[in-house]
Homo-oligomer: A and B are copies of this chain.
């Protein structure tokens, strides 16, 4: 397999640190550049970062010098975890300069010519890439995004149910980890002995992104899936792991056992399952009455799966279940790394 030299935009943030951690021993990608806000430019990464992960900061990365978030950057492709406002222009600049941009930012997720890629679900959406390049007059560069952290956890089981039975309606309430707000992020006075029933912009993303992800590529555009969603988003005193309680109306009736079987049987295409960061099981089904739980289950499948439990009948819709996803692994950096692996393996960049 070929190797690629990768850069990380927003390398000092919470998700940037996960990129560094996940790529430390990656078989295909080697970090050769780290970039952050202008005020960090020229600093040693190890000096500029407030490293908050329980595994040590890799010594080689600590020695890299932070570049500004402008092309050129000494790498073959870039991962981006820039905040939305900064991502909009910066990512376009990199793509225009010939860099594949694998982004975790929200800025371009809903753009009609940008794949919102979950390779187990919509690998064919990468066919937007040549259209995007043509339309924007880019040659080697392009933009590919992954979903919001909550969307990702939710959309894997929704895809399984959509394939098996069709999904008509989803009411979902989330209990989201503080790491999802970055660092310093949520003030401790707001979360100790408390729940915050509001996360700016989150409910919109959870209600709209799944429709694009589950949509069909028709000609040169994505036809959104017809399911409808209602989301209630909350922040809770959990370090990592977003928990979601969902009531789901299916298009065809299904028993609890059939739903469980559909969830457990769900797999992406074989070429996705073979990727280095792909989970053996994209969905892990727990059958205990009180699982999944963030602290106990977030690291299953190295944080790359949706953990589903408490599948039971819903008195109003059809089915109730509980979903857990690791918000900074599969919900952010891990999703982008898997996307990059898929793009590399399928020749979307060279």
Are A296 and B52 also in contact (CB < 8 A) when A228-B316, A245-B173 are? Answer: yes
Residues from chain B with Cβ under 8 Å of A322 in the complex: 197, 232
A48: min CB distance to chain B, Å: 14
Q: Does A229 contact B (CB under 8 A)?
A: yes
A193 touching B239 by the CB < 8 A rule? yes
Which of these binds chain B: A73-81, A121-129, A182-190, A256-264? A182-190
Q: Does A347 contact B (CB under 8 A)?
A: no
Q: Does A219 contact B (CB under 8 A)?
A: no
A294: min CB distance to chain B, Å: 5
Most B CB within 10 A of own CB, among A175, A291, A297? A175
Assembled-state Cα–Cα distance A56/B301 (Å): 10
B179 touching A234 by the CB < 8 A rule? no
Q: Does A24 contact B (CB under 8 A)?
A: no
Q: Does A320 contact B (CB under 8 A)?
A: yes
Residues from chain B with Cβ under 8 Å of A175 in the complex: 175, 195, 234, 236
A192 touching B243 by the CB < 8 A rule? no
Q: Does A223 contact B (CB under 8 A)?
A: no
**A residues 284-332 touching B (CB-CB < 8 Å):** 289-300, 309-310, 314-317, 320, 322
Residues from chain B with Cβ under 8 Å of A290 in the complex: 196-198
A192: min CB distance to chain B, Å: 5
B191 touching A192 by the CB < 8 A rule? yes
